Structure 1
Amino acid sequence: MGQIKNPRRVGEDQAMAKGRMIKTSPQKLNLVAEMIRGKKVERALNELEFSRKRVAHEVKRVLESAIANAENNHDLDIDSLIVDRAFVGKNLVMKRWKARARGRVGRIKKPFSEITIVVREVEEVA
């Protein structure tokens, strides 16, 4: 009597990876996710490697994880993978405060976000 296997959340020719608790705002993270949407994974990795954005390193780690999932868990060919979807969501927002003049408080919000990357295997047209 084992546990029932969960159904796949993505298609048979797709693999997914998620990065959670990334210390940046979703708006900034979405700018980096926009750079890699629809591109071949090799090109996306190169763009993330040489990007000047601080969060590009975290996105690169998630993309590498999605590629590893595709290769090891779903037996997909890594040379024919493209970034099918890359979407960003909100996560925790730490609320801090800073003392201001006359006994007042200045609110500081420190947002976290999460990114989901789905890679898909495409058939090359000859």
Structure 2
Amino acid sequence: MTTGKKIGTIAAVVGIVLVSGLIYYHYFFVFGEGVKAGELNYIVKKGYIFKTNEGKLIQSGVRSRQMGTLENNEFEFSVTDENIAKQMMGNSGKFYELHYKEYKSSLPWRGFSRYLVDSIYAAKDVHSK
């Protein structure tokens, strides 16, 4: 093997490793995880090709992006586990504490959101917080 072919092969391998690492970091590396709590506004199954479960929590408190306006804190998320999604669909409007994982980017079969709910810590009636 000539020196030029060796350099080309090494460069190709390094390139593949770099691109693979970037893809992993961008789509599969768990950037953060935590718990969000709030009232479940909705959870729906939607999508053109990949049907995914998408939901929104309304969190207590008010924040403002612009001076002089009020806005609810909202947490939009995706759910990949069908059992969790069905449990939430049957209890819309309840107060939930949800564990989630945050990724840098979403994938079509994983949902629209970068935030994936993977478990429910608690579900209570809104009046029994």
Relative to the length of structure 2, the TM-score reads 0.30
Select the structure that is richer in strand: 2
Report 1 or 2 for greater relative contact order, CA contacts < 8 Å, sequence distance ≥ 6.
1
Select the structure that is richer in helix: 1
Relative to the length of structure 1, the TM-score reads 0.31
